[in-house]
Amino acid sequence: MHARLGIAANRHSALIARDQASCADGLIAARELLRTGQARYAIVAGVDSSPHPRMLKHYIDQRRLMNSGNSNGFFPSEAGCAMLLALDDPSGRAARRSSASAARSSPLRAPSRSGRGG
């Protein structure tokens, strides 16, 4: 991916492919990078699935994919999310996030426009 974009890979970049646990594992890894001062910011991003031919055949056979003959299906890899994370305080006790899907009850808060927290 980095070669296609023409940028160097960050040494902390990682692909975490652990099914439903991948998001949590990514957040834990990002928190550790922030807490230890290895990064000032971290981006955790993900998609719901990847279109593997065998998986697609299964979904087609089960009439699960949306198409002209099935309006009650889904598109593979239709959902995704990305979060920008930063420490909320220098002690590393909390982090903040900026995300369109951020939950209000989370101890993570969206950064303010001034960059000093929310």
State which H helix or E strand residue 98 sits in.
Answer: strand 95-98
Domain definitions of the chain by residue range:
2-49+78-98
Please state the φ and ψ torsions of residue 115, each to the nearest 5 degrees. 85, 10
Output the pTM of the full model. Answer: 0.55
Residues 18-57 have pLDDT tens digits of 777 788 999 999 999 999 999 988 999 987 766 788 888 8
* pLDDT tens per residue, range 56-68: 888 889 988 888 8
Ramachandran assignment for 13, one of left (phi > 0), alpha (psi -120 to 50 degrees), beta (any other): beta
For residue 80, the cross-strand partners are 47
**CA–CA separation, 87 and 39 (whole Å):** 9
Which pLDDT belongs to residue 1?
65
State the Cα–Cα distance between residues 54 and 42, nearest whole angstrom. Answer: 34
